[in-house]
């Protein structure tokens, strides 16, 4: 792998997100068709994480649903997005402290230890005690100071800080992260003429690479894991389809490089060819490892990715959104013959 970093390349990534339209994505029983902001194909440097996830287009996490399940599952997941979980919040803090520490104070606010929220009785008390008044004033002052920043605890910060410090102490990871750009958003039309000879549809794909170094042909992905040990992470990668995401990210970025001369000039490369995971353990001693997705795994991931896109197109043509068979154009319901896994057989 070429590990040279090009820190002296000047970036001009000031392209502002432009919402071209609002697009229908799916019908939902609760409220009819839902619409999401549509961003034209391009490279967006100032799109927030929330804006990216709520925008029109299919991400790798969306498409991976179709490797095993159906359009009905995908539609349900896309129309029932929950709030930020504890794990998601920890990941956001970790990513910011590792790749964009200068943005931490703009995005997060650490709640003072010992500051408790008032009870309903304290808030509604006709004659609040002096202790209650002090508490209410303290909470009001904190809410004003916090503003629109995400509130986190000191313990959450300390946990993410320990992980980020370990990443920065790792010789290879620290070199990779010495200079680059974090969490940009890329949109590209997927047109299938380059792999199956069929150019009768196009679908919007989107990717948000964790880290790219201009002049370097590698896409870096920051992961947290219970274990960064080789065998454990390889098993996790297989189960969660990390090679699918890697292949999809490279495809989207390379499509945009081919289409967009400015993007190609800003990146200083003609194609992205490698994908590297920087893995940090999420419990002490927070050890770190780096793994490159092999050519074989990238090839398998690409096959899964292309099949999922084709399956998505067939579902879009079909009235049936559940489990079924393909006739090459649509998905139809079927009765499938059983075939038990060989490893489940017992000799009796």
Query: Do the domain assignments include residue 12?
Result: no
Task: Tell me the per-residue pLDDT of 187-222, one tens digit each, with 9 for 90 and over.
Answer: 999 987 555 555 567 899 999 999 999 999 999 999
Number of C-beta neighbours around residue 168 at 10 A? 15
User: Full-prediction pTM beyond 0.75?
Assistant: yes
Query: Do the domain assignments include residue 245?
Result: yes
Of 314, 317, 336, 316, the residue nearest 326 (C-alpha): 314
Query: Do the domain assignments include residue 338?
Result: no
- Do 187 and 254 have their domain in common? yes
- Do 120 and 38 have their domain in common? no
- Do 249 and 136 have their domain in common? no
CA distance 311 to 323: 12
**Domain of residue 161, residue span:** 19-107+153-326
Task: Tell me the per-residue pLDDT of 50-98, one tens digit each, with 9 for 90 and over.
Answer: 899 999 999 999 999 999 999 999 999 988 877 788 889 999 999 999 9
**Residue 328: predicted pLDDT:** 83
Query: Contact 210/253 with Cβ under 8 angstroms?
Result: no
- Do 177 and 46 have their domain in common? yes
Confidence band, pLDDT 50/70/90 cuts, at residue 345: low
- Do 78 and 134 have their domain in common? no
Q: For the chain, what is the domain count?
A: 2
What DSSP character marks residue 205? E
Task: Tell me the per-residue pLDDT of 125-157, one tens digit each, with 9 for 90 and over.
Answer: 888 888 888 888 898 999 999 999 999 999 999
Instruction: List all residues 6 or more positions away from 277 whose beta carbon is below 8 Å from its beta carbon.
Output: 220, 221, 222, 223, 233, 237, 242, 290, 291, 292, 293
- Do 209 and 192 have their domain in common? yes
- Final residue before a domain boundary, out of 97, 120, 152: 152
Query: Do the domain assignments include residue 3?
Result: no
Query: Do the domain assignments include residue 306?
Result: yes
| The most confident of 75-79, 118-122, 227-231, by mean pLDDT | 227-231
Buried b (16+ CB within 10 A) or exposed e, 29-53: eeeeebebbbbebbbbbebeeeebe
**Residue 196: predicted pLDDT:** 53
- Do 181 and 249 have their domain in common? yes
Query: Do the domain assignments include residue 13?
Result: no
Is the pLDDT at 39 greater than 60? The verdict is yes
- Do 97 and 139 have their domain in common? no
Query: Do the domain assignments include residue 333?
Result: no
Instruction: List all residues 6 or more positions away from 265 whose beta carbon is below 8 Å from its beta carbon.
Output: none
- Do 207 and 230 have their domain in common? yes
**Residue 347: predicted pLDDT:** 58
- Do 160 and 253 have their domain in common? yes
- Do 160 and 228 have their domain in common? yes
Query: Do the domain assignments include residue 335?
Result: no
Query: Contact 279/235 with Cβ under 8 angstroms?
Result: no
Q: How far is CA 192 from CA 35, 274, 292, 309, in A?
A: 25, 22, 27, 9
- Do 164 and 233 have their domain in common? yes
- Final residue before a domain boundary, out of 121, 137, 152: 152
């Amino acid at each position: 792998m070429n590990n040279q970093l090009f820190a002296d390349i000047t970036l001009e990534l000031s392209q502002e997100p432009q919402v071209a339209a609002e697009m229908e994505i799916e019908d939902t029983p609760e409220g009819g068709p839902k619409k999401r902001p549509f961003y034209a194909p391009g490279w967006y440097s100032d799109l927030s994480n929330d804006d990216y996830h709520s925008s029109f287009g299919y991400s790798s996490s969306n498409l991976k649903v179709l490797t095993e399940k159906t359009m009905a599952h995908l539609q349900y997941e896309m129309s029932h997005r929950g709030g930020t979980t504890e794990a998601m919040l920890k990941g956001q803090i970790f990513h910011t402290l590792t790749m964009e520490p200068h943005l931490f104070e703009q995005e997060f606010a650490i709640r003072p230890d010992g500051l408790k929220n008032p009870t309903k009785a304290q808030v509604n008390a006709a004659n609040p005690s002096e202790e209650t008044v002090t508490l209410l004033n303290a909470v009001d002052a904190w809410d004003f100071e916090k503003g629109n920043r995400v509130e986190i605890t000191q313990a959450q910060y300390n946990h993410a800080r320990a992980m980020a410090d370990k990443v920065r102490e790792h010789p290879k990871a620290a070199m990779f992260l010495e200079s680059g750009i974090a969490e940009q958003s890329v949109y590209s039309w997927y047109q299938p003429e380059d792999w199956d000879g069929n150019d009768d549809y196009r679908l919007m794909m989107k990717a948000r690479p964790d880290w790219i170094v201009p002049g370097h042909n590698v896409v870096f992905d920051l992961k947290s894991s219970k274990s960064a040990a080789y065998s454990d992470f390889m098993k996790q990668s297989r189960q969660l389809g990390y090679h699918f995401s890697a292949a999809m990210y490279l495809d989207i970025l390379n499509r945009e490089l081919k289409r967009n001369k400015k993007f190609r000039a800003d990146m200083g490369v003609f194609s992205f060819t490698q994908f590297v995971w920087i893995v940090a353990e999420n419990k002490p001693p927070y050890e770190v490892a780096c793994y490159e997705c092999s050519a074989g795994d990238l090839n398998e991931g690409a096959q899964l990715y292309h099949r999922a896109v084709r399956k998505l197109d067939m579902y879009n043509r079909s009235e049936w959104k559940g489990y079924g068979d393909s006739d090459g154009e649509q998905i139809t319901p079927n009765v499938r013959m059983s075939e038990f896994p060989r490893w489940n057989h017992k000799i009796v």
